[in-house]
């Protein structure tokens, strides 16, 4: 420590008190108060620098609730959150509304990770109870990030950044998660940032590729279309799974540029196929929350020259639920232009039947979780049978995903499932290999290719 420097200076002095330290909505302290509380606590412990913990809590899915019920209802929920946090706060804790739907707390008597996780679990349970909005109840969850001083930062800004990093990791893992900052998490986030930059560069350089997996008519095993799947092999990183880089693009806010680049490549490849074959392409939750998505997608395929009636867009129930109203508008506009829309991963969501009622779909794709067990699990067989029967009544086409062997294909045919895809019929392949696949499988159309 430099001469004349104190731990108080290392945490960072609070700015001059030129503004209120109270949040006018909840009566809690605000971000200014958070800084002051942390600085005062560090100065108090200067002679005996015992650890303490700061935490952040973010309400999961608050914006859709706010949009649905209005800002007054949103304010009421925030006030109830503040009241609950104050009522159950550990001894000596300071509760703060730091911004919007985010709350912070300073925990002087929590010294290590397990203590922070215990507090997080208690607060999580408290916030999981229904919120009373008069004529209705609303259930929410919260994600938590904690940072322990001085291990996660000696300067206030670094400590807060560490808590925010932990919170961000919790949000990435799903709703209602609890994370305490560690060096391992710091390294993980650093790797994610490096991967993000490499992916952004790959998109600009047009280095993210598209592979195609055949979809067949189960009645005669004839190819009827292909699903486009993203593939990326980086010069330094090697092969990167789409299960890693696609969610990363969604989280970091550039999934639209990735998706549009892939659609251009896929649509261009589809021009070389027989005209009766369709192209199936996946939309992300972020795209289904953007009202401009339908016009952008239609502009792309019109520029490429692909007939909209040959395009099929796959969306998941989870993606639809993020902003159902906007998603429904997008689906309606796309179908009006001739594009078909498919509900992907059917059977794994919480209200799939409700989605079939509320949205106009052309097709349902049965999740591979059921298909993979059809030969060994009677429950899965009966579920698939029920889905096929229901879709017949609703005049929806059905595709079974993840068909791995002949026995699964045989069972699905016997159950009346119309279409299927999986390794049994063909693995994803690049555009050139896909053309060879078509040529080899259907010699009779080779002249058209």
Where exactly are the structural domains of the chain?
Answer: 7-181, 193-448
Give the C-alpha separation, 391 to 298, whole Å: 28
Whole-number pLDDT of residue 358: 66
- Which of 211, 224, 160 has the alpha carbon at shortest distance from 438? 224
Q: What burial letters (b/e) apply to 375-398, b meaning 16+ CB within 10 Å?
A: eeeeebbebbbebbeebeeeebbb
Q: Can you name the CATH fold of 193-448?
A: TIM Barrel (3.20.20)
**How would residue 176 be classed by pLDDT, with cut points 50, 70 and 90?**
very high
- Write out the E strands in 64-200: 94-99, 102-107, 131-132, 137-138, 141-149, 178-180
Q: Which of 382, 384, 415, 414 is nearest to 401 (CA)?
A: 384
Over 60: is that where the pLDDT of 3 sits? no
Fold entry, domain 7-181? Alpha-Beta Plaits (3.30.70)
Cβ atoms of 279 and 225 closer than 8 Å: yes
Q: Of 91, 14, 100, 32, which is closest to residue 62 (Cα–Cα)?
A: 100
CB 170 within 8 A of CB 145: yes
Is pTM beyond 0.95? Reply is no
376-394 per-position pLDDT tens digit = 888 889 989 999 999 988 8
Q: What is the mean pLDDT of residues 124-151?
A: 91
What value does the mean pLDDT take over residues 33-56? 88
6, 151 contact by CB (below 8 A): no
Q: What is the pLDDT of residue 314?
A: 95
Q: What is the pLDDT of residue 277?
A: 97
**Can you tell me whether residue 343 is helix, strand or coil?**
strand
* pLDDT of residue 318 exceeding 80: no
| CA separation for the pair 38, 52 (Å, rounded) | 9
Residue 347: which pLDDT band, with cuts at 50, 70 and 90?
low
Give the total residue count for the chain. 449
């Amino acid at each position: 420590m430099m001469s004349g420097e104190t731990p108080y200076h290392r945490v960072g002095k609070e700015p001059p008190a030129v503004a209120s330290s109270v949040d006018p909505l909840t009566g809690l302290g605000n971000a200014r108060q958070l800084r002051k509380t942390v600085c005062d606590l560090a100065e108090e412990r200067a002679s005996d620098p015992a650890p303490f913990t700061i935490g952040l809590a973010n309400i999961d899915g608050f914006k859709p609730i706010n949009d649905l019920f209005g800002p007054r209802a949103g304010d009421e929920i925030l006030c109830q959150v503040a009241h609950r946090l104050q009522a159950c706060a550990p001894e000596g804790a300071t509760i703060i509304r730091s911004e919007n739907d985010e709350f912070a707390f300073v925990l002087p008597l929590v010294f290590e990770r397990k203590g922070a996780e215990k507090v997080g679990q208690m607060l999580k349970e408290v916030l999981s109870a229904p919120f009373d909005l008069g004529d209705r109840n609303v259930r929410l969850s919260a994600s938590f990030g904690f940072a322990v001083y001085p291990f996660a930062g000696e300067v206030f800004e670094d400590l807060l950044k560490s808590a925010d990093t932990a919170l961000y990791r919790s949000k990435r893992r799903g709703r209602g998660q609890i994370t305490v900052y560690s060096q391992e998490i710091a390294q993980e986030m650093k790797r994610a940032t490096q991967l993000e930059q490499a992916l952004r560069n790959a998109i600009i350089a047009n280095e993210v590729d598209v592979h195609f997996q055949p979809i067949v008519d189960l009645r005669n095993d004839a190819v009827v279309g292909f699903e486009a799947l993203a593939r990326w092999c980086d010069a330094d990183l090697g092969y990167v799974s789409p299960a890693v880089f696609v969610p990363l693009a969604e989280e970091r806010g550039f999934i639209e540029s990735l998706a549009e680049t892939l659609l251009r490549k896929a649509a261009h490849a589809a021009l070389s196929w027989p005209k009766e074959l369709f192209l199936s392409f996946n939309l992300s939750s972020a795209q289904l929350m953007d009202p401009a998505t339908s016009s952008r997608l239609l502009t792309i395929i019109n520029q490429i020259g692909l007939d909209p009636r040959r395009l099929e867009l796959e969306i998941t129930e989870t993606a639809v639920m993020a902003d159902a109203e906007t998603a429904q508008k997008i689906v309606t506009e796309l179908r009006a232009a001739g594009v078909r829309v498919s509900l992907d991963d059917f059977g794994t969501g919480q209200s799939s039947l409700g989605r079939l009622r509320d949205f106009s779909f052309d097709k349902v794709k049965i999740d591979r979780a059921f298909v993979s067990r059809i030969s060994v699990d009677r429950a899965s067989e009966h579920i698939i049978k029920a889905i096929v029967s229901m879709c017949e009544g609703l005049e929806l086409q059905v595709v079974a995903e993840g068909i791995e062997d002949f026995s699964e294909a045989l069972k699905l045919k016997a159950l009346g499932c119309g279409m299927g895809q999986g390794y049994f019929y063909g693995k994803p392949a690049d555009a050139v290999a896909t053309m060879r696949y078509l040529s080899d499988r259907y010699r009779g159309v080779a002249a058209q290719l």
